[in-house]
Amino acid sequence: MKTPPVFRFIRWFRELGISDVPLVGGKTASLGEMLRSLSPLGVRVPDGFAITADAYRRFLAASGLDRRIEERLAGLDVTDLEDLAQRGEALRAMILEADWPGDLAAEILNAYGRLGGAQGIDVAVRSSATAEDLPEASFAGQQQSFLRVAGEAALLDACKRCFASLFTNRAISYRADKGFDASRVALSVAVQRMVRSDLATSGVMFTLDTETGFRDVVLIEAAYGLGENVVQGAVVPDECLVFKPTLAMGFRPILRKATGAKEFKLVYDSTAGAVRNVEVPPDERARFCVEDGDLLELARWACLIERHYSERQGRAVPMDIEWAKDGLSGELFIVQARPETVRSREVGAVIETWRLQESGPLLVSGRGVGRKIASGPVRVIADAADIARFQAGEVLVTDKTDPDWEPIMKKAAAIVTDRGGRTCHAAIVSRELGVPAVVGTGDGRARLRDGQVVTVSCAEGEVGRVYGGRLAFGVERTEPGDLVRPITRVMMNVADPAEALRLSFIPNDGVGLAREEFIISNSIGIHPLALLDYPNVEDPVAKVEMERLSAGYADKPGYFVDKLAQGVAMLAAAFYPKDVILRLSDFKTNEYANLVGGKAYEPLEENPMLGFRGASRYGHPRYRRGFALECRAVRKVREEMGLVNLKLMIPFCRTPEEARRVLAEMSDLGLRRGEKGLEVHMMCEIPSNVMLAEEFCELFDGFSIGSNDLTQLVLGVDRDSEVVAPIFDERNEAVLRMISRVIRVCRSRGRKIGICGQAPSDYPEFARFLVREGIDSISLDPDSVMATTLAIIDEERAV
């Protein structure tokens, strides 16, 4: 028989630093010698005591329930929902009506008294079953837990209700689906002093990224009040990612912070023993609800917990942890932990890439869960009592889910919820089932109607979208296997930070081109100079939009720095410790003008492609202050977060004199080439870069050939003109000679030389040409990495 789970409550108190914990009901096999040998981890947990699975068995045996339960479950068919409901109700009633054995009740109450029960303290009563949180099944929320339990009678009742929750309809069905013998399942209960997070914050954290399985981050979700709202998906929580490797070095690597709606908070009600949801004021919703110091402390604890259980198991054990902050004492607490059971089991042998092959009207969007696409007719269900209406293959649309919904979730083509974040119940179960889900849409039920055929796509980054109609889609499966790495470094062009963790699993040698422009356009949206001049912005429309985008930031320039730093940090962390080469901003003036507030700062140019762009902007009086914000963001990534694998690249640098001015400007702003390992590269995309390569080599650590602009300027072709488009060809002999020359010069001067343009992604023969010329690295679009890598290996063998 399986012993009670080694990851949760019975073990928690002693393992995490409380040495004297009453164990009511006798020791179970899960404690054993291992428990006595554990040393404190330095993680704070609430005082409490544990009611063991042996106590549960004593309770059943005393009233003959063990035999009656087995009889009641005989011949069960979980697909017969009506019969399942009848059996479940009868089993729960049997347990609730049974009397406590006198000695066992006395043991529980004695332990409660020692905890402070005589003073009527509030406790949380949490359950943990033997078939819960196993490596092959999460059983998320299958058993019940109870908050703010006070008094002896209420405690005994809550414990009995935990026992009865082993036989909810959903738990019976789930165990049957997973092949667990229900008669051999037992349950333990932890009784913990309540953490008054109703006066502060609480949430969930995972020691990996739940969407990709990326192991080097801690994902933290948080909301105001007691933690049930986050766990149950009742609110869209704040979200944060912390990078483990540099956290362990003493840095402060908060990679990403996203503010959720946090519409409600669960607080103590005036009625004894009750809790209720109240609305969160708008100004509090707009703020991130946890201070950075607390986020870092929680992440450190998460790493300690993961390391502890991994050492005990002899293998990596990513963890799913609940935490709370006490509003009275200001202290953080860990209230439970269990193994993560979905991404941690993926072996990663096959990389799946799902893609939509046609477009349709966007109906609703939210947080995407999973990486798949599915189509089907909508079924809007408001209450779990109506789940019998649901048919296999439909798209389930509801407010939120809990374990009562699981019998139909496994039959759904996709799931859409109005509320919840990516660690809510709907998200966890959807991942386990392999079903795409879009959570936290806000208004999915209002916008979608029964029978409407839709396509749910979670394959477009972190945003999940629901489109009208049955759209065509496909999936590509790549098996990296034991692919031999070529001598030529194969890097990637990456723009979207939300895709970085997923893309890191493709065999690569780092990022040869990370673009600032995508982050500024999509995560910031405001011209940096407008943020610097925020009090004096005269355009009322722009000012309202600036306030909306930067809500929660009193320091408006700080908004630009934080958001840019977080986007860049996601890219640098995803590929750490490999090189990530960040190209500093290269917007044209018309593109800068399209940012909120931008028109007031940008000149009108006839040909922005050849105008005020790239290096010419950085020290110019018209943009110098904006460039200073970019440099602050870079310093934050390298110095505060410890991501020194980040290298910089200067775009569109016309002359060596301009290069010197830019380097001097950067030095004045604290970014000195060669200091703290900082490398500065240059885009080679202008004929002057090739013809003066020897001089530029004296100023930069390396070059990256921008074949798009270089081809345009060598051939005198506007690459955006459809009239002369046939002339634009990177394989033109004039372009090839320019590239060949700059490679020779760089190699002779001991400088790195790579390429980040489109040509190697589009033309394998172009990649082979580069290999023959001796280029150091080729940076490719992610979807062409595997095929081009094979072509490079073949060419290197031939050479």
CA 19 to chain centre: 35
Tell me how far apart the alpha carbons of residues 668 and 4 are, in angstroms, rounded to a whole number: 61
Cross-strand pairs, 641: none
* Cβ 755 vs Cβ 707: under 8 Å: yes
Backbone phi and psi for residue 280, each to the nearest 5 degrees, phi listed first: -90, 130
Strands 201-206 and 187-193, sheet pairing: unpaired
3-state secondary structure of 613: coil
Going by C-alpha positions, the residue among 27, 96, 87 that lies closest to residue 65 is: 96
Catalytic choice (308, 425, 527, 681): 425
Q: Mark whether 159 is an active-site residue.
A: no
Tell me how far apart the alpha carbons of residues 477 and 780 are, in angstroms, rounded to a whole number: 19
Tell me how far apart the alpha carbons of residues 140 and 344 are, in angstroms, rounded to a whole number: 15
Give the Å distances, CA to CA, from 141 to 64, 133, 232, 598. 28, 10, 8, 49
Cross-strand pairs, 201: 224
Across 471-509, b (16+ Cβ under 10 Å) vs e yields bebeeeebeeeeeeebebbbbbbbbbbbbbbbbbbbebb
* Cβ 228 vs Cβ 281: under 8 Å: no
Tell me how far apart the alpha carbons of residues 444 and 363 are, in angstroms, rounded to a whole number: 8
Going by C-alpha positions, the residue among 506, 321, 337, 345 that lies closest to residue 434 is: 345
**String of DSSP letters for 524-538:** I-B-HHHHHTGGG--
**In the β-sheet with 123-129, what is the strand arrangement from edge to edge?**
23-24, 48-51, 187-193, 123-129, 146-149
What residues contact residue 794 under an 8 Å CB cut-off, 6+ apart?
768
* Cβ 36 vs Cβ 19: under 8 Å: no
Going by C-alpha positions, the residue among 184, 181, 229 that lies closest to residue 203 is: 229
3-state secondary structure 67-98: HHHHHHHCCCCCCCHHHHHHHHHHHHHHHHHC
Q: How many residues make up the chain in this entry? A: 799
Strands 473-478 and 351-356, sheet pairing: antiparallel
Tell me how far apart the alpha carbons of residues 297 and 308 are, in angstroms, rounded to a whole number: 17
**Structure tokens, 28:** 């179970």
Cross-strand pairs, 239: 221, 258
Residue identified by tokens 């479950």 is 73
How many CB atoms lie under 10 A from the CB of residue 694?
12
Give the Å distances, CA to CA, from 751 to 678, 683, 698, 767. 15, 13, 9, 20
Give the Å distances, CA to CA, from 227 to 44, 202, 303, 440. 17, 5, 21, 17
Q: Mark whether 425 is an active-site residue.
A: yes
**Structure tokens, 772:** 């023959």
* Cβ 101 vs Cβ 156: under 8 Å: no
Tell me how far apart the alpha carbons of residues 439 and 194 are, in angstroms, rounded to a whole number: 29
**Structure tokens, 517:** 């422009």
DSSP assignment letter at 636:
I
Tell me how far apart the alpha carbons of residues 510 and 567 are, in angstroms, rounded to a whole number: 16
Active site amino acids: 425, 756
